[in-house]
Homo-oligomer: A and B are copies of this chain.
Amino acid sequence: MQNYISKEKIKVSQSSTGDDIYIDKITVKGSDDFAPSVYLQASMHASELQGNAVLVELLEYFNQHQPNGDIYIIPQCNPIGMDMFIGAGHQGRFDSATGDNWNRYYFNPKINYESFVKEHINSSTLVYKKAFEELLQQEIAKELSNKWELSRAKRLNMLVQQEAQKADFVLDLHTDTDAITYLYTPEYAKEDAEKFGYKHTLVVGNAFGGALDEAICVPWWSLQLEFKKQGRDENVLKECFTLELGSEECVSKDDAIMQTQGVLNYLKHKKVINSVFATDRLHSEVIHHDLADYKHVKAVEGGLYEWFVKAGDSFEAGDLIGQYIQTSSMTRKDLTLPYKGTIISISMKGAVCQGSALMNLATTNN
């Protein structure tokens, strides 16, 4: 590795033996101190692995092409959920001890936006940006100091959030169940999101539900809205995207090549890099789906399910998209849905109970 690439360890937890638990943080020092920086992490949902395949590609690229801006990478950011295998399954989405979703305990501080903007209404963008960054770091440090009330999910989430908050752009690498490559974008960053060249996006509003993309975007978005309210037009100064890189528990070098092209294309657009790379695998037409049209379809009947469709397919309401066997009557039944749309991910096959997740569907009305 080039000498502008270094690695450090960050303590994030402690086992019942008293041994500390660490994550690796890799820093690729950029050549230009004034270029924007990027933070990437993978596998907070510990069974979502493909982000690491992309990060290996990126590191190889950065080893040959020093970026302008700093790149911060935490490849495997969940050492607790990492090898949590229970029988046939890798328990990666939840803390198996508590049921805590590893991606829902990021921190959204209570900030008095009105008074902050009042104070900075005439500050330069650089000045208020720096002040707001400091405020966010203070708030998270304060929350972390409340140590007797931190679950391990919350501590882990906030410790990586501290790292993420140091960068201008943040990419949180996830996957879905059995899925296409797509991404979540805040409404204000839709155009930038298209630079990734992934065919589908889900567009989210300024609401906080505990995920990293929200924890990064919501404060800066709220700040921009407050500036607007007080009569000054500003851009939202930070962006965070959750990239959904295909299917969980899968690693594909071929997919990683396409997905990495998208990340590089975004970084180039943001002037974090200016070296060359291929873009032949990217989609030029990107379809944005509103989150309100995104349905989490559950099974209305139990059965042994077989699918006739796969992630990425579109269908009409009433189309025959699968069938299922009910052994209680030894019959086979057709599966149709009252919706039309594009399948973003298939959640389950085989044995399915009433109420089990079937698919995530970007519905369309026309």
Contacts and interface: CB of A to CB of B under 8 A. Distances in A.
A93 interface: yes
A32 B300 CA distance: 41
Contacts of A324: 251
A337 B148 contact: yes
The size bracket of the interface on A is 35 or more
Interface of A: 13-19, 24, 26, 43, 46-47, 49, 52-53, 55-56, 59, 75-76, 79-80, 82-94, 96-99, 101, 147-155, 248-253, 295-298, 300-306, 323-332, 337-339, 349-357
Given A99-B99, A325-B52, A149 B87 contact: no
A79 to B, nearest CB: 8
A230 to B, nearest CB: 31
A155 B153 CA distance: 28
A298 to B, nearest CB: 6
Contacts of A15: 82-83, 302, 353-354
A82 B300 CA distance: 18
B154 A355 contact: yes
A149 B295 contact: yes
Contacts of A149: 295-298
A217 B38 CA distance: 47
Contacts of A82: 15-17, 351
A251 B350 contact: yes
Given A16-B82, A56-B332, A328-B19, A300 B88 contact: no
